[in-house]
Chains A and B, each alone.
Chain A
Amino acid sequence: MIPLWLYLVMAAALFSIGTFGMLARRNGVAVLMSVELMLNAVNINLVAFWRYTNPTEINGMAFAAFVIVIAAAEAAVGLAIIITVYRNRHSVIPEEASTLKG
């Protein structure tokens, strides 16, 4: 079977790509998509550790299911905020929504 470290390296690479996208992209929608990539990397890690340590228990799968629920909620609220900011300021660049900046 595939050794565990291959899954971990793959998930770490996915997480790093997501981090890069979250920090570097200027478009707010792209930032949210990168956050989804990071959540996916976490999910792969959870399921891989569950499979390789105690696959007869249920906890790894349950936590991965909860992460998917949180990701759905996060995407819905984040996109609603982006659409509202776009409607008010005609911009999807997070740096330009700086009314609250001191």
Chain B
Amino acid sequence: MGDASLSLILAFIIFTILTLGGALGVVMNRNLFRGTIWLMVSLFGAAGHFVLLSAPFLAAVQVLVYIGAIAILFTFAVMLTRSLTQISDRFTRLWWNVGGAGILFVVLVGTVILPVWGGFTPSNDILFANVADTTQLGIALVDRGSETTQGFVLPFELASLLLTAAMIGAIVIARDADDDEKGKRS
């Protein structure tokens, strides 16, 4: 324990405030455009947590994919659908859902987190010492795996196939009908 551990705790508190405050901003905000900005704040806090958990590559992917792509996609969707001014009331069955989320939190803490309370001390205190790094992740993702090493090439290929299918599906769903199709329909 010392200065390093104090700064770790301080960073954890800051990133937790960013993550949870951003999440509250997303679900409470009336203006959905501001909601997307809060979503970026929350995702950035999660990226900071990844750095604290010695996964800097995942933090970079989080910033690139989530903040750079998904949040921008949400911004486009908000602007394309005029959802800023259209809906007068934000919530349905507000207090039932607040109660439900509170009960879910209590159940999660009581049944999942309480059993591991105090257990699982980290295997080393230093942030990046003796932890699997990005090189190993890259090799494992395209490796078939053996009895001693892990390989994720099949899930990796499936994920790329799924992403391609999802992109084609998104284009097909969102595309406006062609002129000749419209002629057939009418």
**Chain A contacts to B: CB under 8 angstroms:** 1-10, 12-21, 23-30, 32-34, 36-37, 40, 43-44, 47-48, 50-59, 61-62, 64-66, 68-77, 79-84, 86-87, 91-93, 95
Name the interface residues of B61-112: CB closer than 8 Å to any CB of A.
61-62, 65-66, 69-70, 73-74, 76-78, 80-81, 83, 86-87, 89-94, 97-98, 100-102, 104-105, 108-109, 112
Once the chains bind, are A83 and B53 in contact (CB under 8 Å)?
A: no
Name the interface residues of B162-186: CB closer than 8 Å to any CB of A.
162-163, 166-167, 169-171, 173-174, 176
Q: Which residue of A lies closest to B83 (CB)?
A: A92
Chain A residues near B53 (CB-CB < 8 A): 7, 44, 47-48, 50-51
Chain A residues near B39 (CB-CB < 8 A): 33, 36-37
**Chain B contacts to A: CB under 8 angstroms:** 5, 8-9, 12, 16, 19-20, 23-24, 26-27, 32, 35-36, 39, 42-43, 46, 49-50, 52-55, 57-58, 61-62, 65-66, 69-70, 73-74, 76-78, 80-81, 83, 86-87, 89-94, 97-98, 100-102, 104-105, 108-109, 112-113, 116-123, 125, 130-132, 136-137, 140-141, 150, 152, 155, 159, 162-163, 166-167, 169-171, 173-174, 176
